[in-house]
Amino acid sequence: AQTVTQSQPEMSVQEAETVTLSCTYDTSESDYYLFWYKQPPSRQMILVIRQEAYKQQNATENRFSVNFQKAAKSFSLKISDSQLGDAAMYFCAYRYQGNTPLVFGKGTRLSVIA
């Protein structure tokens, strides 16, 4: 079974600084997708960024980027120029190809210090 591990329950970062959240996963598949979701206090699940496993290029979305290491099964999220609004729970998730469910990590709570 696929598993997703987030080893950092909590992280903090100073406003305007950069922070990296870690995620590792375990799968025997070669074709899959990885996601980072943000969950603010409102509890809404918001997609931050996604990565297709067949693409070698790391995904980027404005201040958010990933470091995807397929061989190491690692998928970290880098947030640059951190803002107060980035404070939230961040979940790493894996999905096999097709319309299949997401498998989530336990989450990392990010605090942003003004």
Chain residues that interact with other proteins, rule: CB under 8 A = 33, 35, 37, 42-45, 47, 50, 52, 91, 95, 97, 99-107
Cα 89 from Cα 99, distance rounded (Å):
25
Is residue 74 packed enough to be buried (19+ CB in 10 Å), middle (13-18) or exposed (0-12)? Answer: middle
The position carrying tokens 């958010």 is 64
Name the minimum Å distance from CB 92 to other proteins. Answer: 11
Work out how close the CB of 17 gets to other proteins at its nearest, in angstroms, rounded to a whole number. Answer: 28
Determine contact, residues 105/93, Cβ cutoff 8 Å.
yes
C-beta of 106 vs 113, nearer to other proteins:
106
Q: Which is nearer to other proteins, 82 or 107 (CB)?
A: 107
- Taking the least distance from each CB to other proteins, the nearer of 51 and 82 is 51
